[in-house]
Chain A
Amino acid sequence: MTVTFRVTPPSGMDRGPGVDRPAASFDLQTLDGRRLGLGNYAGRPVIVNFWASWCPPCREEAPLLVQLARRAPQGLAVVGILYQDTAENAQRFVDEFGVPYATLLDPQGTAAIDYGLTGIPETFFIDRTGMIRAHQVGVLSQADIDAKLRTIAGP
């Protein structure tokens, strides 16, 4: 508990004590019934995106994340974690946007608590060594993605 004050620019910027710390691991069930954890992506940069089908900004940023996951620069993986939503609604969202990456169910909210979530969407950028390097509260723009991707790119 060394961080007493957080310097927060007005909005949409990095927030939270999560940056430059190891990302919390999780092991959850996917929409299609597999188990998946952060460990499955060892050695790859990962973007963890918390979302829900009822959240309009999530709809706004979904196409960008879909596009990014398709390109997968430098072996990048994208993982969605569902926040306070039903599997059916989430499946409809996944079909609508053609989401190619895994969506994890977090019914107990344990992953949300481990990541200190204060709302959605929130997105964490995790580098190859499993450290969180950037964090976005609120909707992602292409510029946000490009800039924050840089923090987890490279070896």
Chain B
Amino acid sequence: MRAAILLALAGSALVIAAAVLLASSRPRDLSARARAIESTLRCPTCQATSVADSPAQAARQIRQVVEQQVRDGRTDEQIRGFFADRYGTWILLDPPTTGPDIVVWILPAVVVVGGVIVLVRHARHARQANHDSGTADLATRQGGPRLAESAVFGAMVLALLAPIPAALGLRPAGAPASGGAPSTTPTIAQLEAWVAADPSDARILTQLGDALLGAGDLPEAASRYRAALTVDPAADAPKLGLAAILIESGRPDVAVTLLDGILGTNGASADALFMRMVANQQLFGRADARVRADAARFLEVAAGDDVRRTTVESLLAASDANQSSAASASPGSPAP
């Protein structure tokens, strides 16, 4: 019986090997080679499809170049290098086997080897345990440590709650993103690197200013905002930042002038209205007509879920309450 099995094994192996040899001995024609190369190149204008598969025009043009180069007798590596040179290695669908990308190549092997080790140890352990007692040890772990369970529960609650403060400051999912502006909150270090790479980008400069302002570094933030304004004098965002700094550093009067300028061209800027309201409140108290006018206008123009609404509403309500006492405040006095 063993002999028959071995014979059958050897026989089928032989036939299959012969079939594979026959198949691989056939010369690969040029178009097959071109196709193989194309399937490793990313279509530059698509999401994730290869040049070989994509119906996009850009992919078709690259296919023509690949086919031409294959006909010209260039090697696969030369052709792939030609495109990597122009588009960067991003154009190659395979991650390189050097550098940090090596992680993705080794990981599957690590999982398999690690799994085998765990399984073998488990099997040995099981055999050992069978020798020793053969009884299940359900009881030994009963009454697991209470403290650990509470810690797990606490960590779960923390993980659920942690994103909420971040989430509250964000706009609802359906709202359109503002025109292509960087939309994450990068670190100050990252922003500084980007500014160093391109010191003339007003948006990044403003973001850096915002980040520095958030970190409490007012002078540095101010200098970034000013740099942003030098690049783009019409931008509102750096002016808002400067206004915030002025309010913070006790010059709400100057902030009001700046904000008047913004609101002169864009009267519906909720940010500017809110800030002018705050500045005027510091100057004249919350019952001042200018504060109330800005507050009312803010409530008109601000997004429905703007978190500042509550503040403004409570301010209006509070100032309604002592409206009479505030009536003596001089209305309409020009901003200094």
Contacts and interface: CB of A to CB of B under 8 A. Distances in A.
Q: Indicate whether A and B are direct neighbours in the complex (CB within 8 Å).
A: yes
Contacts, number: 95
Interface stretch (A12-20, A37-45, A61-69, A72-80): A12-20
A34 interface: no
Nearest to B186: A10
B198 A14 contact: yes
Given A84-B57, A117-B44, A17 B87 contact: yes
Contact of A9 (B84, B204, B231): B204
Nearest to A115: B86
A4 B90 CA distance: 8
Contacts of A116: 44, 86-88, 91
Contacts of B181: 11
Interface in B166-219: 180-184, 186, 193-194, 197-202, 204
Nearest to B101: A4
Contacts of B130: none
Contacts of A112: 58, 61
Contacts of A16: 87-88
A143 to B, nearest CB: 5
B96 interface: yes
Given A109-B58, A110-B65, A119-B45, A11 B85 contact: no
Given A4-B98, A13-B201, A109-B57, A138 B89 contact: no
Contacts of B200: 143-144, 146-148, 150
B contacts with A: majority SS: helix
A87 to B, nearest CB: 16
A1 B45 contact: no
B304 interface: no
Given A112-B58, A113-B62, A147-B200, A13 B85 contact: no
Interface string A109-127: 1101111111100000000
A3 B92 CA distance: 13
A6 B197 CA distance: 12
B194 A9 contact: yes
Most buried by A among B101, B182, B184: B182
Contacts of A115: 86
Nearest to A24: B86
Nearest to A6: B88
Interface of B: 44-45, 57-58, 61-62, 64-65, 81, 83-91, 96, 98-99, 101, 180-184, 186, 193-194, 197-202, 204, 231-232
22 contacts: A6-B88, A9-B182, A9-B198, A11-B180, A14-B197, A16-B87, A84-B57, A84-B58, A108-B61, A108-B64, A113-B83, A114-B86, A115-B86, A116-B86, A116-B87, A118-B44, A119-B45, A142-B232, A143-B231, A143-B232, A144-B201, A147-B198
Q: Which 3 A-B pairs have the closest CB atoms?
A: A147-B200, A109-B61, A10-B182
